[in-house]
Amino acid sequence: MKSLNLGILAHVDAGKTSLTERLLYTAGVIDEIGSVDAGSTQTDSLQLERQRGITIKSAVASFVFNDTKINLIDTPGHPDFIAEVERVLSVLDGVVLVISAVEGVQAQTRVLMRALQRLEIPTLIFVNKIDRRGAQYERVLTEIAEKLSLPVTPMGSMHELGTSAADFTAFDTPNISPVQSQAYPVFFGSAITGAGIGSLITGITELLPATEGNAAAPVSGSVFKIERGAKGEKIAYVSLTSGTIHVRKHLQFGQGKDGKVTVIDVFDHGKTIQRTSMAAGEIGKLRGLADVKIGDAVGKMSTDSQRYFAPPTLETVVLSRNSADKGKLRVALDQLAEQDPLINVRQDDIRQEIYVSLYGEVQKQVIEATLASDYGIHVNFLETTPICIERPLGTGEAVEFLGKNDNPFLATLGLRVDPAPVGSGLQLKLDARLESLPIYIYKSVPEFKESLEQYVAHTLREGLSGWQVVDTLVTLTECGYEAPGSTAGDFRKLTPLVLMSALKQAGTIVCEPICRFELEIPANALSLVLSALGKLGTVPQTTTTRNTSYILSGDIPSAQVHELQQRLPAMTSGEGVLEYEFDRYEPVRRPKA
């Protein structure tokens, strides 16, 4: 049987989880459709998801339509949980992008569509909520074409739009495929009433690329999600593209790692069923792989660690209310970071503070609730601040010679620091005499360079002002050792001393994240909004009109986005729409606390 890994993506509240429920019901997996508002949906199983009525973690359900096994993955729609979407994209064969017939194309819709286009993931568009008052047909199609810059093909016609009797009649399936052409099929319907769902299912099974996996081939797959069981053990979500994985057999994963699979739970007909094996085309939960990480390849598969969305630009300090929980807090946050690597836990040893990176305030609230419910740790957060970076201002050079100037290590090391082009990251160049390199320790020049790169990268995680140093060229200018006493540890310990001395000589400049924004506001709010933007340190670069609205676009410091979001409803009588995304880093415009 062919299989299809199908993602359901949308802006929050477009009806993504309701559509998932309707598909499960139509497939006979559930007897009645759950309600997001009532917290009774199949895929939003976390207590916090049910309480808030939003999807926080991706969820999997498997069923069969038209002789095709669908592995459906429901993803979060709130932008604070975009990292959860990112991890799923790598295992998808096709996507249904859900858009509300009432709200139309929204901020997160644009972000998601850009990622889908970059990855060339075949996509169907489903316009939901045609039964709601205010639902539109032509306007939504125009918005999709204009705001998403997509050529679209409506797949049918509408009847009784905006009423409980609204329905969608599909045309005969035209000769169109999102795999082979740039046209995007657009279906209309209602996840609540079921209108148009049959047509959408036909589109999913006929237009998206299902595959026939080879269970006898070598094992190949990837890990796209990690969670922990009741006893704290790791559970790896694996999408298997070929081969068969067996219980009690060793499995290779990641970079040369190996582990014995102790339990396999396979998603099948809306449930997870414990089995002794899982085969190509299936998604399963594996236990027993203690060192597994999100993004690890399984078997022969190679993974691309490319990031599809911008990393978080905010961070906050987490404090345990009970001082006795401080050690437990770090362990708990490290485990949460395993499930969401972009949380990026870091500790300031001088201030004795723990930082976590964030996409927004809602994510902070979820972390707080998760720590309380899952770990019994109650925390407070300090003010959310932007994650800055440092760049070298000039050139700096330092050297420590073996046996001189109280050098405590059996090694000579000289390093020079220079600014590098913006966006180039961290580069290392060897400019010392090759015969001076400690080959007998590292066996080869490439291995020596790789080790030194690790030492340099570790040191530059915190620069002169405490932020990561980027866009830097570090050159090895001197290198010496004493045979046979010198060890790799001498170079590892000497690197931060020499490198930080060179960095102090070069100096650094702190840069803050800058976001590109587009703001749609009613005409009567223009002067008020312009005044507020000025106080937030930004001036729109362009101002255009759209019907009775103004469209303002420009740059805004990431630190000011949340305040603008908070003030916008009052300034625009709830009609303002803000879209933004990380664009670049620039020197800090105002003093930082």
488-526 confidence digits (pLDDT tens):
888 899 999 999 999 999 999 999 999 899 888 989 999
- Domains of the chain: total: 5
Assign 26 a pLDDT band (cuts: 50, 70, 90): very high
pLDDT of residue 592: 42
**Average pLDDT estimate for 131-160:** 92
**Per-residue exposure over 66-78, b if at least 16 CB sit within 10 Å of its own CB, e if not:** eebbbbbbbbbbb
Parallel, antiparallel or unpaired: strands 385-386 and 314-320: antiparallel
| 39 occurs within a structural domain | yes
99 has pLDDT over 80? yes
Inter-residue contact 367 to 330 (CB < 8 Å): no
Q: What is residue 44's predicted lDDT score, i.e. its pLDDT?
A: 46
Local confidence band at 309 (pLDDT 50, 70, 90 cut-offs): low
pLDDT of 10 strictly over 60: yes
pLDDT in tens, 521-563: 989 999 999 999 988 888 889 888 877 789 999 999 988 888 8
Report whether pLDDT(175) > 60. Answer: no
pLDDT digits 0-9 by tens, 260-299: 999 999 998 888 899 999 999 999 999 999 888 888 889 8
**Torsion-angle region of residue 471: left (phi > 0), alpha (psi -120 to 50) or beta?**
left
User: What tokens were used for 265?
Assistant: 């739970």
What confidence score (pLDDT) does residue 19 get?
92
Radius of gyration of the chain (CA): 27
Does residue 473 have a pLDDT over 70?
yes
Give residue 593's pLDDT. 39
- Is residue 375 located within the same domain as residue 501? no
C-beta neighbour count of 354 within 10 angstroms: 20
Same structural domain, 119 and 11? yes
Same domain assignment for residues 494 and 451: yes
pLDDT score recorded for residue 287: 95
**Residue 364, domain CATH:** 3.30.70.870
Higher per-residue pLDDT: 278 or 119: 278
Residue 458 vs residues 116, 123, 330, 422, 535: alpha-carbon distances, Å: 34, 41, 20, 20, 38
Confidence (pLDDT) at 565:
83
Residue 49 predicted with pLDDT over 50? no
On whether residue 200 sits in a domain, the answer given is yes
What does the pLDDT read at residue 276? 96
Q: Cβ contacts of residue 186 below 8 Å, gap of 6+?
A: 124, 125, 126, 127, 141, 144, 152, 153, 154, 155
Do 89 and 180 reside in the same domain of the chain?
Answer: yes
**pLDDT at residue 35, as a whole number:** 63
Q: Which of 215, 216, 157, 209 is nearest to 186 (CA)?
A: 157
Rounded average pLDDT over 343-355? 82
Query: What pLDDT sits at residue 83?
Result: 66
Q: What pLDDT score was predicted for residue 435?
A: 61
Percent of the residues in the chain that have a pLDDT greater than 90, as a whole number: 45
CA dihedral sign, ordered 215, 75, 120, 136: positive
| pLDDT score for 591 | 43
> DSSP letter at 208?
S
Pairing of strands 508-522, 426-430: unpaired
For the segment 465-472, the average pLDDT, to the nearest whole number, is 93
Question: Which of the four pLDDT bands, split at 50, 70 and 90, describes residue 457?
Answer: very high
Domain that holds residue 350: 314-387
Give the three-class secondary structure for 64: strand
Domain boundary among the residues 336, 353, 387 is at: 387
Are the CB atoms for 218 and 16 separated by under 8 Å? no
Average confidence (pLDDT) over 3-14: 89
Find tokens 């200018």 and name the residue. Answer: 477
Is residue 469 pLDDT above 70, yes or no? Answer: yes
3-class SS of residue 67: coil
Say whether both 75 and 190 belong to one domain.
Answer: yes
pLDDT in the model for residue 59? 79
Following DSSP, what letter does each residue of 429-446 receive, concatenated?
EE-S-GGGS-HHHHSSHH
Mean pLDDT in residue range 368-390: 90
Percent of the chain with pLDDT over 70: 88
Q: Quote the CA–CA distance of 389 and 460 in Å, as a whole number.
A: 11
**Same domain, yes or no: 76 and 137:** yes
Average pLDDT, the chain: 85
Provide, for the chain, the percentages of residues in helix, strand and coil under a 3-state DSSP scheme, each rounded to the nearest 5.
Answer: 30, 35, 40
The whole-angstrom separation of Cα 132 and Cα 190 is 9
Same domain, 442 and 578: no
Q: What is the CATH number of the domain that holds 582?
A: 3.30.70.240
Considering only CA atoms, which of 173, 138, 133 is closest in space to residue 156? 173
Does residue 162 share a domain with residue 236?
no
Long-range contact set of residues 172-181: C-beta below 8 Å, sequence gap at least 24: 173/202, 173/203, 173/206, 173/207, 176/207, 177/122, 177/207, 178/94, 178/122, 178/123, 178/124, 178/207, 178/208, 179/122, 179/207, 179/208, 179/209
> Based on the domain organization, do 84 and 101 belong to the same domain?
yes
Packing angle between helix 445-459 and helix 488-506, nearest 10 degrees? 50
Task: Tell me: do 366 and 500 sit in the same domain.
Answer: no
Separation CA 252–CA 302 (nearest Å): 12
User: Cβ distance 202 to 209 under 8 Å?
Assistant: no
